[in-house]
Amino acid sequence: MTTLLLSHQICVRHEMPGSPESPARLEAIEQALQSEQFSSLQREDCPQARKDHIALAHGGDYIDAICDLTPEKGYFAIDGDTTLCPHSYEAAMKAAGGAVRAVDAVMSGEVNNAFCAVRPPGHHATKHQAMGFCLFNNAAIAALHARKQHGAERLAVIDFDVHHGNGTQDIFWDEPDMFYGSTHQMPLYPGTGAVSETGAGNIVNTPLKSGADGAKIKEAFNDRLLPALFDFSPDLIVISAGFDAHIDDPLAGLRLTTQDFRWLTLKLAEFADNHCDGRVVSLLEGGYDLRALGDCVATHVDVLLDAGL
């Protein structure tokens, strides 16, 4: 088996003028994954998600609203961070479709793990609100699809984006069999992610202060997040893979290096290998310094490839 890489050209055509969440992000990733070391990747275009896939995490009225608000030309601003262009709805449906296809491939044993290089990202999208560059919550959709379609009983989303995934937390809040664990900078947008936010006992937030480095995030994983994940005992790990905690990223103040992201990926891949038959689905979230993003994704996918051999 190998690693499945899912992306789609329509995700590059989603534009938000002036935003760091730009089409150049996927172009940087595509370039980084062209080297010979990634020749064994199984590459596919994302299929389009069905509305019932999205409805696992979002209300039908919300889904219709995103479709209806997508302009035929020009742009429509949902808020100061989140804008729709004519290709946005289709891009969001392809991004979610990639998450669903990744779950199907991993849960069926077709591949060992998968990475979705998609945009718009998803972890800020709540049940009823688009925000923070996000339209549909790809990670939550992936986990809930694994439960509905494949009978997985306990699903975990691990989020190492520098921003707290308030949307995933919102969707999982009353779901004791859905685990959400996050390391993130605090205080920072969106203002959630305190240790005291525990949902149905299934939410584990480990906030970090601005300036925290790789040693601090390793401590958070080793002392809190991984033990909680062990106690939860998931059937599948979904990674909200944001790379904006990198020291070069312009949107926040954590100080991780590319090798720190290698360590995080190794830890999660090792955990999955030991506790859930290696099943990992990773989804792109943030990361806004293009050089750092390309390097970090290449490192992340390299570890997944090694785990899939």
Helices marked H in 132-287: 138-150, 166-172, 214-220, 226-232, 258-275
Cα 199 to chain centroid, rounded: 20
Binning pLDDT at 50, 70 and 90, where does residue 185 land? very high
Q: Of 120, 23, 137, 132, which is closest to residue 82 (Cα–Cα)?
A: 132
Question: How many angstroms separate the CA atoms of 107 and 277, rounded?
Answer: 10
Confidence class for position 193, pLDDT limits 50, 70, 90: very high
The pLDDT of residue 38 is: 97
Please check whether residue 22 is in contact with residue 13, taking contact to mean a CB–CB distance below 8 angstroms.
no
Residues 188 and 55: their CA atoms lie apart, in Å, by: 29
- 3-state class of 171 per DSSP? helix
pLDDT score, position 90: 98
Residues ≥6 apart with Cβ < 8 Å to 198: 204, 205
pLDDT at 92: 98
The pLDDT tens digits for 103-159 are: 999 999 999 999 999 999 999 999 999 999 999 999 999 999 999 999 999 999 999
Mean of the per-residue pLDDT values for the chain?
97
pLDDT of residue 212: 98
Question: Residue 279: pLDDT above 80?
Answer: yes
CATH 3.10.580.10 fits 3-308, yes or no: no
Q: What digits encode the pLDDT tens for the residues 44-61? A: 999 999 999 999 999 999
Mean pLDDT of 234-260: 98
**Mean pLDDT within 11-34:** 98
- In the chain, where the domains are located: 3-308
Q: What is the mean pLDDT of residues 17-25?
A: 97
Mean pLDDT of 250-268: 98
| Cis before 120? omega within 30 | yes
State what percent of residues in the chain have pLDDT above 70. Answer: 99
Which tens digits make up the pLDDT trace of 220-230? 999 999 999 99
Report the largest interatomic distance among the alpha carbons of the chain, rounded to a whole angstrom. 50
Residue 134's beta-bridge partner residues?
A: 131
Q: Outline where 155-206 has alpha helix (H).
A: 166-172
Which candidate in 87, 124, 246, 300 is catalytic? Answer: 124
In this predicted structure, what is the pLDDT of residue 308? 62
- Residue 107's nearest CA partner among 277, 270, 265, 269 is 277
User: Which of these, 97, 66, 96, 95, lies nearest to 82 by C-alpha position?
Assistant: 66
Active site residue 123: no
**How confident is the model at residue 309, as a pLDDT?**
62
Q: Which DSSP symbol is given to 247?
A: T
Dist CA 275 CA 255 (whole Å): 30
Question: Are the beta carbons of 135 and 82 closer than 8 angstroms?
Answer: yes
Flag whether pLDDT at 1 surpasses 90.
Answer: no
Span 65-83, average pLDDT: 97
What's the confidence (pLDDT) of residue 269? Answer: 98
